[in-house]
């Protein structure tokens, strides 16, 4: 598979990109820091990626970089078969409540900029007759919850967009994969206390890869979070107001 | 420690690594792990905090120490009071591999498990494979680890090309046998005290197949072990013995000798070995799980399950090199009290019977242990504080708890009397005076440390305990 990957330098994105590389897929990495991109590209090449792993700077806070990055990726790979987006901003609810600028940035990056990037990716994929668009939302978007009010709202919006995209363009050949990670032990969550059922990025990546290959529209990782979120969605509001989850 | 003083000591880093697509004005986010305590593999907790990120270069700024996967048993990877430790495992990228020379260049957090998984099927191996693969490249350098091939290939340091290090003053330098060789020698086996190891270049070895042709046999006692290891050394690149320290009399130190070499393609399976499935000890077991009776039974069973004759076969390299790794968190069987390992090397050549006298000391003091390891060592490495030296090394796992300090003191006095020394990566309880008496090399190491870190910024809980840091 020929994959343009936004966010492959760390965490779940790094683990997923490694699985793609180790089975011999071709990758082009997009991200905001060229030094880190080059190091991750080297890592993926040693692991077995097909050909040279290209890199292009692309920053979700600078929408003017989107089109050029996707075009560069498509050119280097000889066409795109999949676009993966794992990049996002993260901050805790406390940090966001204390800083309206950070809140604005996070909502923008995680929702409107990501959607804008996906719109451009969709054009590229559909122009080539279809392909896969795999985007990381979050279980935080499944229901408004105390510890994830703002982050969750942006991810809820993103998940709704991805579902709509699936309905609208599936017949045209676009396969949309919305990944909903629960708590996963990565650099992003390094300062937080892991709950039970916390996942490891490698195991998560294996499950995402399966979903990516099959075109599964929604995938919870680790799998146990599907059940957890089902239960959370069924809880009455009076209960949600009381619990801290 | 007061919560307030913790907050002062904790770093606040604008982590470029935290957000995959943030801007240059990334939010300042505390990434100090929540827990107030850290422990080594022996599960004896000490106050301390670690910072974890993919960007090792960023988090080592101001850190007092870097740790890898925390497999050293005691306090080698724990911070000195008032400092924190940077954790490297997320910094695990391979940066280059040269098919011709076999030189692998990677970030220091890359684990040996990953190197094995990626390179065995390509017919390359790490030149040194210690008892566990859940260690990082940086840790392998810092402890200058050894394996079953020490009598042939020496320690890990011998196979290094160069290291990229962040010095105490923040500068990042490359060091090798040619560039600042004194820094290189002090860093190999220097327990992370000379600088933060950021990247490592090591020469892998080609192998004929990724499988092991192994032979094993029973050995009647410790003296027989010493001579059996000596004999096996001429024919086998990999040798190690497991022995029963609870057997008494002439059976003292009886056990199983394991020998191996990489299998030739003709005798090995065609398929490369797939990574072993792993079970886990799900929670910390009660302290009484391992007691005299269960250890005695385990040791006896392990010995008698081995057939009387020579057992030969083609075995999975993980089973041969890293047998305990198939059980995750096996350290939990020791219970909440935790445990330690006493590993020493004794100059058996100059002092025949030293290994037996150490075991007698252990038995006389009622030390309880299962799964003890014995191995002959070859030449001393170039690292200034590198552990192995010619002789016999013995490793004994011991539950912590009442009496452990006296037991360790007794063993260390025996080691001292025999002219041996202990392995810092395993040590939790040694006294400064005993360690310093064993290590005439310490003065030169400390002198170099002062040269490269005049302000004494780098330290560890172990260096405070044994080297006199902060005194």
Dihedral sign of CA atoms B403, B405, B407, B413 in order: negative
Question: Which of B16, B51, B94 is opposite residue A42, by nearest beta carbon?
Answer: B94
- Is the pLDDT at B292 greater than 90? The verdict is no
Does the beta-carbon distance from B23 to A105 stay under 8 Å?
yes
Show me where the domains of chain B are located: 94-207, 212-431
DSSP sequence for A196-215: TTPBPHHHHHHHHHHHHHHT
Q: Could you give the CA distance from residue B331 to residue B74 in angstroms, rounded to a whole number?
A: 12
Query: Is the predicted pLDDT of residue B304 greater than 80, yes or no?
Result: yes
User: Contact A61/B54, CB-based, under 8 Å?
Assistant: no
User: Given this structure, which CATH class describes domain B94-207?
Assistant: alpha beta
What does the DSSP 8-state code read for residue A116? H
**A195's tokens:** 């709950």
Measured at the CA of A83, the angle between CA A82 and CA A88, to 5 degrees, comes to 155
- Cβ burial of A129 (10 Å; 0-12, 13-18, 19+) is exposed
Residues B222, B420 contacting (CB under 8 angstroms): no
Strands B160-166 and B196-203, by their bridges, are antiparallel
Percent of chain B exceeding pLDDT 70 equals: 93
Q: What is the pLDDT of residue A193?
A: 82
Pick the CATH number of A2-242 from 3.30.43.10, 3.30.160.100, 1.10.150.20, 3.40.50.720: 3.40.50.720
Range list of H helices, B10-69: 56-59
Could you report the predicted ipTM of this complex, rounded to two decimals? 0.94
Coil, helix or strand at residue B280: strand
d(CA A43, CA A129): 31
The low-confidence residues of chain A, meaning pLDDT below 50, are none
Minimal Cα distance from B93: which residue of A?
Answer: A43
Which residues on A lie below 8 Å from B15 (Cβ)? Answer: 187
Check CB contact under 8 Å for B22 and A61.
yes
Count of A-B CB contacts under 8 Å: 96
User: 3-class DSSP state for residue B195?
Assistant: coil
Residue A235 has a CB neighbour count (10 Å cut-off) of 14
Q: State the nearest Cα–Cα gap between A74 and chain B, in angstroms.
A: 20
Report in angstroms the alpha-carbon separations of B331 from B112, B244, B341, B397. Answer: 19, 19, 11, 10
Read off the pLDDT band of B120 (50, 70, 90).
very high
Instruction: Report the mean per-residue pLDDT for chain B.
Output: 91
Has A151 been annotated as catalytic?
yes
A192-229: buried (b, 16+ CB within 10 Å) or exposed (e) per residue?
beeeeeebebeebbebbbebbeeebbbbbbbeebbebb
- A88 contacts in B (CB within 8 Å)? 19-21
Q: Judge whether residue B164 has pLDDT over 80.
A: yes
pLDDT mean over B185-202: 98
Which range has the top average pLDDT, B14-23, B293-302, B388-397?
B388-397
CB neighbours of B117 closer than 8 A, spacing ≥ 6?
B275
Listed in sequence order, the residues at least 6 apart from B120 whose beta carbon sits closer than 8 Å to its beta carbon are B207, B210, B272, B273, B317
Residue-wise burial string across B397-434, b where 16 or more C-beta atoms lie within 10 A, e elsewhere: bbbbeeebeebbeebbebbbebebbbbbbbbbbbeeeb
| Chain segment B60-72, per-residue pLDDT in tens | 999 999 999 999 9
Q: How far apart are CA B91 and CA B53, in angstroms?
A: 7
**H-helix or E-strand spanning residue A16:** helix A11-22
At CA B330, angle to CA B324 and CA B334, rounded to 5? 130
Sheet-wide strand order for B103-107: B94-97, B103-107, B196-203, B160-166, B172-176
Q: Closest partner residue to A39 among B30, B52, B95, by Cβ? A: B95
Whether B417 shows a pLDDT value over 70: the answer reads yes
Question: Which of B14, B20, B49, B103 is the best residue to mutate to test the A interface, defined by the most A CB atoms within 10 Å of its own CB?
Answer: B20
Taking only the tens place, the pLDDT of each residue in B21-48 is 332 223 233 344 445 899 999 999 999 9
Q: What is the pLDDT of residue B422?
A: 98
Contact B458, B193 (CB under 8 A): yes
The per-residue pLDDT for range A40-62, each reduced to its tens digit, is 999 999 999 999 999 999 999 99
| Collapsed DSSP state (helix, strand, coil) of residue B288 | helix
Cα-Cα-Cα-Cα dihedral sign, residues B202, B203, B205, B206: positive
In A, which residues are within 8 Å of B97 by CB distance?
Answer: 46
Q: What are the tens digits of pLDDT across the range A159-196?
A: 999 999 999 999 999 999 999 999 999 988 887 888 88
Contact residues, chain B, for A101 at CB < 8 Å: none
Average pLDDT of the segment spanning B366-373? 87
Looking at residue B320, what is its pLDDT?
Answer: 97
Pairing of strands B46-47, B37-38: antiparallel
- Sheet strands (E) in B69-117: 85-87, 94-97, 103-107
Question: Which residue stretches of B292-441 are H helix?
Answer: 292-305, 317-321, 354-364, 404-418, 432-438
Query: A151, A161, A220, A225: which one is catalytic?
Result: A151
Q: B212-431 adopts what CATH topology?
A: Alpha-Beta Plaits (3.30.70)
Of B23, B29, B52, which is closest to A91 when you measure between CB atoms?
B29
DSSP string, B168-190: TTS-EEEEESSSSHHHHHHHTTS
Nearest CA to B119 out of A32, A141, A91, A22 is that of: A22
CA distances B155 to B385, B387, B412, B426, Å, are: 12, 9, 23, 16
Nearest by Cα to A188 from A235, A136, A134: A136
Mean pLDDT for B431-449 is 97
Instruction: Output the pLDDT for position B414.
Output: 98
pLDDT of residue A191: 77
Is residue B380 exposed (0-12), middle (13-18) or buried (19+ Cβ within 10 Å)? middle
For residues B144-158, give the mean pLDDT.
98
Min Cα separation A234/chain B (Å):
31
pLDDT digits (tens, 9 = 90+) for B231-279: 999 999 999 999 998 888 899 999 999 999 999 999 999 999 999 888 8
Distance of CA B212 to the CA centre of its chain: 22
Checking if the pLDDT of B12 tops 60, the result is no
**Å between B27 CA and nearest CA of chain A:** 7
State the pLDDT at residue B139.
98
Closest Cα partner for B27 from B36, B17, B14, B38?
A: B14
Residue B73 has pLDDT above 60, yes or no: yes
Q: Is B349 helix (H, G, I), strand (E, B) or coil?
A: coil
Bridge partners (DSSP) of residue A29 are A5, A55
Query: CA of A63 to nearest chain B CA: how many angstroms apart?
Result: 12
Task: Indicate whether B368 pLDDT > 90.
Answer: no
Residue B4 pLDDT > 70: no
Query: For residues B438 and B421, is the Cβ–Cβ distance under 8 A?
Result: yes
DSSP A193: P
Cβ-based neighbour number of residue A100 at 10 Å: 9
Q: Give the CA count within 13 Å in the CB-facing half-sphere of A192.
A: 19
Query: CA-to-CA distance for B260 and B315, rounded, in angstroms?
Result: 9
Task: Please state the separation of Cα A81 from the chain's center in Å.
Answer: 17
> What pLDDT, on the 0 to 100 scale, is given for residue B235?
96
| pTM beyond 0.95 | no
Distance CA B395, CA A31 (A): 48
Please report the pLDDT score of residue B13 as a whole number.
34
Q: How many residues does chain A have?
A: 245
Rama region for B82: left / alpha / beta (φ>0; ψ in -120 to 50; rest): left
CA–CA separation, B449 vs B190, rounded Å?
Answer: 9
Q: How far apart are CA B385 and CA B387, in angstroms?
A: 6
Structure tokens at B199: 């990247």
Query: Which CA distances in Å does A25 have to A50, A52, A54, A213, B117?
Result: 5, 11, 13, 12, 19
């Amino acid at each position: 598979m020929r994959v343009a990957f936004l966010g492959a330098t760390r965490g779940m994105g790094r683990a997923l990109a490694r699985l793609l590389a180790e089975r011999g897929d071709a990758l082009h990495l997009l991200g905001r820091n060229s030094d880190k991109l080059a190091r991750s590209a080297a890592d993926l090449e040693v692991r077995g990626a097909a050909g040279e792993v290209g890199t292009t700077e692309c920053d979700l806070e600078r929408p003017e970089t989107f089109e050029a990055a996707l075009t560069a990726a498509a050119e280097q790979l000889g066409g795109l078969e999949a676009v993966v987006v794992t990049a996002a901003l993260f901050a805790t609810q406390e940090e966001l409540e204390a800083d309206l600028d950070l809140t604005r940035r996070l909502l923008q990056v995680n929702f409107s900029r990501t959607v804008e990037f996906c719109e451009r990716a969709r054009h590229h994929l559909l122009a080539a007759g279809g392909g896969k668009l795999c985007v990381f939302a979050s279980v935080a978007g499944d229901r408004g919850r105390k510890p994830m009010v703002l982050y969750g709202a942006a991810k809820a919006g993103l998940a709704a967009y991805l579902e709509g995209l699936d309905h609208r363009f599936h017949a045209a050949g676009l396969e949309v994969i919305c990944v909903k990670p629960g708590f996963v032990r990565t650099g992003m969550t390094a300062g937080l206390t892991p709950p039970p059922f916390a996942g490891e990025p490698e195991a998560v990546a294996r499950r995402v890869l399966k979903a990516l290959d099959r075109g599964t529209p929604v995938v919870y990782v680790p799998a146990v979070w599907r059940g957890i979120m089902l239960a959370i969605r069924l809880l009455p509001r009076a209960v949600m107001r009381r619990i801290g989850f | 420690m007061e919560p307030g003083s913790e907050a002062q000591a904790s770093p606040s880093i604008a982590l470029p690594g935290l957000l995959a697509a943030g801007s240059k004005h990334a939010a300042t986010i505390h990434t100090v792990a929540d827990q107030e305590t850290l422990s080594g593999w022996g599960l004896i907790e000490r106050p301390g905090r670690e910072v974890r990120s993919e960007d090792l270069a960023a988090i080592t700024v101001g850190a007092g120490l870097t740790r890898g996967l925390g497999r050293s048993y005691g306090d080698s990877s724990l911070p000195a009071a008032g400092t924190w430790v940077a954790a490297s495992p997320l910094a695990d990228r391979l940066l280059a591999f040269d098919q011709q020379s076999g030189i692998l260049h990677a970030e220091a957090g890359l684990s040996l498990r990953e190197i094995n998984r990626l390179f065995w099927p390509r017919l390359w191996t790490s030149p040194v494979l210690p008892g566990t693969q859940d260690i990082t490249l940086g840790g392998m350098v810092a402890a200058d680890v050894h394996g079953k091939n020490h009598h042939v290939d020496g320690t890990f340091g011998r196979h290094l090309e160069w290291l990229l290090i962040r010095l105490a003053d923040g500068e990042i330098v490359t060091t090798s046998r040619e560039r600042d060789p004194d820094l290189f020698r002090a860093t190999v086996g220097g327990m992370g005290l000379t600088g933060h190891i950021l990247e490592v270049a090591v020469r892998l070895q080609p192998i004929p197949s990724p499988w092991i042709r192994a032979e094993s046999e029973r050995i009647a006692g410790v003296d027989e072990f010493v001579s059996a290891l000596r004999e096996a050394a001429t024919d086998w690149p990999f040798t190690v013995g497991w022995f029963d320290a609870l057997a008494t009399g002439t059976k003292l130190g009886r056990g199983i000798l394991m020998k191996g070499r990489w299998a030739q393609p003709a005798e090995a399976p065609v398929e490369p070995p797939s990574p072993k499935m792993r079970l886990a000890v799900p929670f910390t077991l009660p302290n009484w799980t391992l007691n005299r009776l269960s250890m005695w039974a385990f040791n006896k069973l392990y010995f008698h399950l081995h057939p009387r004759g020579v057992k030969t076969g083609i075995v999975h390299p993980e089973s041969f090199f890293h047998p305990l790794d198939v059980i995750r968190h096996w350290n939990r069987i020791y219970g909440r009290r935790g445990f330690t390992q006493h590993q020493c090397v004794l100059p058996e050549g100059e002092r025949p019977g030293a290994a037996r006298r150490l075991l007698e000391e252990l038995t006389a003091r009622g030390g309880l242990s299962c799964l003890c390891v014995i191995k002959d060592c070859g030449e001393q490495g170039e690292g200034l504080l590198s552990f192995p030296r010619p002789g016999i090394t013995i490793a004994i796992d011991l539950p912590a708890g009442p009496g452990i300090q006296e037991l360790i003191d007794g063993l260390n006095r025996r080691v001292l009397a025999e002219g041996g020394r202990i392995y810092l990566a395993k040590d939790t309880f040694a006294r400064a005076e005993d360690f310093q008496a064993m290590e005439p090399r310490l003065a030169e190491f400390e002198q170099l440390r002062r040269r490269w870190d005049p302000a004494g910024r780098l330290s560890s809980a172990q260096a405070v305990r044994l080297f006199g840091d902060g005194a």
